[in-house]
């Protein structure tokens, strides 16, 4: 199957899923700085995948995937803080960490493929 749009990429779909979960989970969090940082980092993952894909160059796409991978690490870092600060439950933490690790693995695999 030939992928014609970034929306067709499973990695982008997973990044979108993570972003929506982050936004929904932290929607009512009163720590505005924390909330905005984790939201920005999660959006950055899907934005970089989309932007890199749209450049239509494997070299550019690979570079943007590295940016996306970095943002995935930032989200994971913020999730570690969120559990320590009691912003999320243990089950939410495990779910979000696992999704972010999956995205990171998928990103690394796609980088290798390119």
Q: Where along the chain do its domains lie? A: 6-113
pLDDT of residue 2: 83
**Phi-psi category of residue 56: left, alpha or beta, with phi > 0 → left and psi -120 to 50 → alpha:** left
Q: Looking up tokens 């997973």, which residue turns up?
A: 14
Residue from 59, 78, 72 nearest 15 by CA:
72
Question: If you average pLDDT over residues 86-97, what whole number do you get?
Answer: 98
Q: What is the 3-state secondary structure (H, E, C) of 32-83?
A: HHHHHHHHHHHHHHHHHHHHHHHCCCHHHHHHHHHHHHHHHHHHHHHHHHHH
CATH code that applies to domain 6-113: 1.20.1440.60
> Would you state the pLDDT for residue 43?
98
Of the pLDDT bands very low, low, confident and very high (cuts 50, 70, 90), residue 3 is: confident
For residue range 7-65, list pLDDT tens digits in order: 999 999 999 999 999 999 999 999 999 999 999 999 999 999 999 999 999 999 999 99
Report the predicted TM-score, pTM, of the whole model to 2 decimal places. 0.95
């Amino acid at each position: 199957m030939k992928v014609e749009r970034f929306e067709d990429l499973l990695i982008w779909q997973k990044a979108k899923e993570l972003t929506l979960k982050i936004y929904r989970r932290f929607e009512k969090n009163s720590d505005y700085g924390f909330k905005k940082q984790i939201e920005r980092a999660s959006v950055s993952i899907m934005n970089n995948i989309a932007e890199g894909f749209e450049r239509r160059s494997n070299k550019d796409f690979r570079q943007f995937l590295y940016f996306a991978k970095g943002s995935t690490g930032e989200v994971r870092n913020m999730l570690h803080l969120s559990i320590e600060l009691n912003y999320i439950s243990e089950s939410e933490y495990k779910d979000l960490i696992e999704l972010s690790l999956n995205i990171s693995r998928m990103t690394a695999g796609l980088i290798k493929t390119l």
